[in-house]
């Protein structure tokens, strides 16, 4: 798995019996079940082009992942904390939207997945809490580095063989309908700052203090920028998605 490649916690054999390796492989298996469940729902719905869905999955796996952690375990656990919180929020939002529109099956599916993601989040958040306790400066710097790079979802290299900007288009739709938005991103940052008590951490080096100031002051800056973008939003753009038989969707 991706997180088994981090320095110091790597699973060199791919089948190590150490507790961490076993746990992380089980985590990956659970994430795979989420994907299988959602794909089965899409297949049974009859509303999507499964050929293009399968091609997108194939290309996504072939493209690999680069989430900017550099195999640094501190950055990796910070990333996982944010990303798991993001998937908890986005699946929860999707469950709510599905319920509002009368699709109780999809609502139940997404609600179940959201609950799993919440448990994943709790595990990684606690790991970072411990890192802040034993090595506050390096952990604070790792948090700052990840936020400077922006937290990108694992599927950002996704494409369908036709549209190289598929993930950006998909993200724009998610933003517009309220599945995962900039406000969600900032709310997650605020949540983690509070959960990790980043503003109260002391005994940092000068570099650690600079990182602390950056992280703790980032959320208000992003919110102001988003307000400006919303105020200058241009006319809606439409784009065709191969997943829904090239139907045009508003971005």
Binding residues: 31, 34, 84, 117, 120
Q: Write the pLDDT tens digit of every residue in 38-79.
A: 999 999 999 999 999 999 999 999 998 889 998 899 999 999
Compute the distance between CA of residue 213 and CA of residue 198 in angstroms, rounded to an integer. Answer: 9
Could you tell me the pTM of the whole model? 0.94
Looking at every residue in the chain, the average pLDDT score rounds to 94
Binding residues for Fe cation: 31, 34, 84, 117, 120
DSSP letters for 11-79:
-SSSS--SHHHHHHHHHHHHHHHHHHHHHHHHHHHT-S-HHHHHHHHHHHHHH----S-TT-HHHHHHH
Domains and CATH numbers, the chain: 2-250 (1.10.620.20)
Lowest mean pLDDT among 161-170, 179-188, 225-234: 225-234
Q: Is residue 8 pLDDT above 70, yes or no?
A: yes
pLDDT at 182: 93
Q: Residue 221 has which token pair?
A: 């800056």
Strand 238-241 relative to strand 247-250, pairing: antiparallel
Q: Write the pLDDT tens digit of every residue in 90-148.
A: 999 999 999 999 999 999 999 999 999 999 999 999 999 999 999 999 999 999 999 99
- Residue where the block lists tokens 């090595």: 135
């Amino acid at each position: 798995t991706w997180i088994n490649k981090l320095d110091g916690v790597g699973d060199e054999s791919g089948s190590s019996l150490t507790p961490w390796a076993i746990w992380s492989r089980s985590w990956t298996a659970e994430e795979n079940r989420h994907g299988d469940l959602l794909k089965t729902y899409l297949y049974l719905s009859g509303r999507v082009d499964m050929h293009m869905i399968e091609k997108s999955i194939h290309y996504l796996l072939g493209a690999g992942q680069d989430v900017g952690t550099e195999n640094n375990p501190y950055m990796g656990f910070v990333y996982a904390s944010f990303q798991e919180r993001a998937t908890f929020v986005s699946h929860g939002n999707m469950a709510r939207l599905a319920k509002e529109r009368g699709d109780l099956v999809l609502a139940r599916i997404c609600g179940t997945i959201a609950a799993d993601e919440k448990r994943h989040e709790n595990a990684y958040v606690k790991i970072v809490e411990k890192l802040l306790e034993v090595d506050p400066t390096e952990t604070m710097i790792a948090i700052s580095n990840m936020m400077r790079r922006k937290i990108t979802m694992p599927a950002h290299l996704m494409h369908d063989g036709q549209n190289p900007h598929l993930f950006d288009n998909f993200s724009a739709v998610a933003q517009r309908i309220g599945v995962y938005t900039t406000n969600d991103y900032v709310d997650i940052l605020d949540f983690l700052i509070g959960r990790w008590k980043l503003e109260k951490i002391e005994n940092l080096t000068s570099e650690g203090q600079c990182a602390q100031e950056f992280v703790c002051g980032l959320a208000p800056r992003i919110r102001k920028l988003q307000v400006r973008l919303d105020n200058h939003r241009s006319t809606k753009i439409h784009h065709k998605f191969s997943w829904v038989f090239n139907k045009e969707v508003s971005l």
